[in-house]
Every structure is written in C-alpha cells, then in structure tokens.
Amino acid sequence: MNKQPIGIFDSGVGGLSIWKEITTLLPTENTIYLADSANAPYGEKSKEEIIDFCIKNTLLLLEKDCKIIIIACNTATTNAIKTLRKLYKIPFIGIEPAIKPAALKTKTNCIGILATKGTLNSELFTETSKKYMGSTDIVEQIGEGLVPLIESGQIESQKLKNLVNKYIQPMLAKKIDCLVLGCTHYPFLIPTIKKITGKSIEIIDSGFAVAKQTKAVLEKNKLTNNSSHPPLHKIYTNTKARTIYKLIPRAENVSVSYMPF
C-alpha cells in the first residue's frame, strides 16, 4: 500500500508547481500527475463542467491505484472537493487561495488576490474571504488570459508580461503589501511579478502548505513510502508535452507521456 503513488491532477501544467513541492518534501514518494490541458482553463467553465472533469480525473487516478489524490487546482478545489469527498473514500488534499496567511502578514491591511474567475466566484472562496474582510481589504483580480499563455509555453513572452503588469498595477495603486496567487499556474509568473512589484510586496502561494498537509495525511493514515528505491514520477498530458519540458527538468525517473482523457 505504501508504495502506491500519490495522484495529482490539474487543469493543465499549473499543478506542476505543486508537484515540485511534493517531490521536494517527500523524496521517497512515487507520483502520477494528470495535466488536463485539453480542457484548460477550468476557471472559465461552469461548476457542473468542473465537477465532471474532476470526477473523470479522479477515476483515472483510482484506476492507477493511487493512495491519495491532490487537487492541484484552486478552481477545481473550490468547486468540486466537497462532491469528490462524498463520492470516494480516498483522502483528498485540496488547494485554495492563501487568504489567511496574507491577512495575518499584511501591515497595510490590504491584500491582493490574483485568481481565475471560477475560483473568485466559488462558494468556498466567498466563505473563506468573508472571515477576513472585516479587518482586511481584499482586492480581487481575475487573471483572464494568463493560463492559456502559460499552457502554450509563452512564459517569457511580452504579451504575457504586459498582461501581468495590467493586472498588478491597479492592486499596487490600492496599497496592497501581500499578493496571493490563487491559481497553481501563477507561481511560474513570480519572476515577472517581482520585476513589477520589487521587494515591497510579499508574494504568497499555497504550494509548500499543500506539500506539508500531504505529508501529514500520509503519516496519519500510515501511507508513507519508506522504500529505499528511487521514486518514479509519471506525468500524463492530453495535449502536446513541450510546455511540461519547459517547466520541469528532465530526469531519468520522470516520464512524460501523451494520453487521451
């Protein structure tokens, strides 16, 4: 049981930012990652569509004998995790914008959240943000167009840089001092964002917190892999794999394959 892989899925390559944190913190664990790039971005889909995609991805990971499933997508978590937990007994780890740590760290009492429309409009996000709205101003910004550019590998393009600048500048004008990245694709934009914000803004994402929670759940359920064998990491995509190779280093124990799903 312990040697079974950790399952991870996202609406494309964004969840690789979570995968990196998982494989760093849990170096003995095998993983299987599903990049549902053919249906990206989830943030522009209806809640019903998002739930259907999440069920499809979950069933694939269950077929591959995963012992735990990480929903490495803010939109998928905020819209579908309650349904998935009702349908399946396997432990699920979700991800949502890190509003709480940002609210605790802010000194201007103003934080920015860059996320997809699907995340910002979700019931779970609304519930979470309401807890901190009394003492903290939350500036929301939909990152429309960012995910398709990242998915197509245009991370260094001027078009993407211009779009990021367009979204960040109004938040800076409102005196935010913490910026929450509410989409797992967005950590790949941190170098670009830092060139705009400088050192005055703290950028917060949920990757390391998700890895820590995964470790805790594995230990609680006695599912930790203590094998001395090198781990195997299998990444499946339902589109071309070139963007994946841009985001993660090639390694002998990492395989990237096309699979229609």
54, 73, 110, 178: the catalytic one is 73
Q: Tell me 247's DSSP state.
A: H
**Helices and strands (H and E) in the chain: how many:** 11, 10
How many whole angstroms separate alpha carbon 13 and alpha carbon 138?
Answer: 27
Question: Active site includes 183?
Answer: yes
Q: Which residue(s) pair with 7 in the sheet? A: 32, 69
- H or E element: which one contains 69? strand 68-71
Question: Active site includes 73?
Answer: yes
Collapsed DSSP state (helix, strand, coil) of residue 202: strand
b/e 220-240 (16+ beta carbons within 10 angstroms → b) = eeebebeeeeebebbbbbbbe
CA-to-CA separations, 169 to 103, 148, 195, in angstroms, rounded: 20, 21, 12
HSE-up (13 A, CA, CB side) for residue 219: 7
What are the tokens at 215? 């470790």
54, 66, 178, 183: the catalytic one is 183
Q: Which residue(s) pair with 255 in the sheet? A: 234
- Cis amide leading into 231 (omega within 30): no
How many whole angstroms separate alpha carbon 54 and alpha carbon 136?
Answer: 32
Q: Which residue(s) pair with 142 in the sheet? A: 115
**Residues annotated as part of the active site:** 73, 183
